[in-house]
Amino acid sequence: MSNKKCRIYAACGVSQTPIELLKCEENQTVTPYSSHPNNYWDKNASKFLSLWRAKQDFNATLYLVNYAENNTKYADQVLVIEVEDMDEKGITKEIKTKHTMETFSKWFVELNNRCLRPKEELIKEIYEKKSVDELGKIKLKKGRHANECIEYIYKIDLEYLEWHSKTKYEYSKATLCYLNKIKELLGDEK
């Protein structure tokens, strides 16, 4: 890890996992294993409360990671604090895990791998959040109906849209979501 302060957000599906890196300086009397954010609460409360709010907004897990710089006495100590609850006075519930740099690296890679999802699934989730009107305005780029909006194609060539929604072509997931939303709307009107 570098000596720069940074905040990492590991993407997990549609949510984020905030990870705050907390460096223990070599001249401090604490080590990564002995340091705790509550000891510095008065100085950093706003930062930690903001991270907690982000964790709640994203319905995610908040990790605080104590570490020391490379080539220092405690460079192989990494403490991961999974924050389970906090209030205005500090962290009230947590799970601490002591790592070496090697086990932390493995843990971090595993966390990122759990977060990775297939591109097609992520694209579909993005389009599912759009309205029928937004989806209908998307113009296909190629094919028989290039430069035409999905909404217009729906009116003149539904069979084509149904076929397109089952392909892996550009905007096929948008087309699928549009058709599903129209079907829901029509089902609600019956």
* pLDDT value at 62 more than 90: yes
DSSP single-letter state for residue 129: T
* pLDDT value at 29 more than 70: yes
> Which of residues 188 and 179 earns the better pLDDT score?
179
The secondary structure element, H or E, covering residue 82 is: strand 78-87
Count of C-beta atoms within a 10 Å radius of residue 127: 20
Match 């109906």 to its residue by tokens.
Answer: 145
Q: How far apart are CA 184 and CA 122, in angstroms?
A: 21
CB 74 within 8 A of CB 31: yes
**High-pLDDT (> 70) share of the chain, %:** 90
Q: What mean pLDDT is predicted for residues 25-52?
A: 92
Pairing type for strands 90-99 and 78-87 reads antiparallel
* pLDDT value at 128 more than 80: yes
* pLDDT value at 124 more than 90: no
Those residues with Cβ within 8 angstroms of residue 68's Cβ, 6 or more apart along the chain or in another chain: 23, 24, 26, 31, 32, 74, 75, 77
* pLDDT value at 172 more than 70: yes
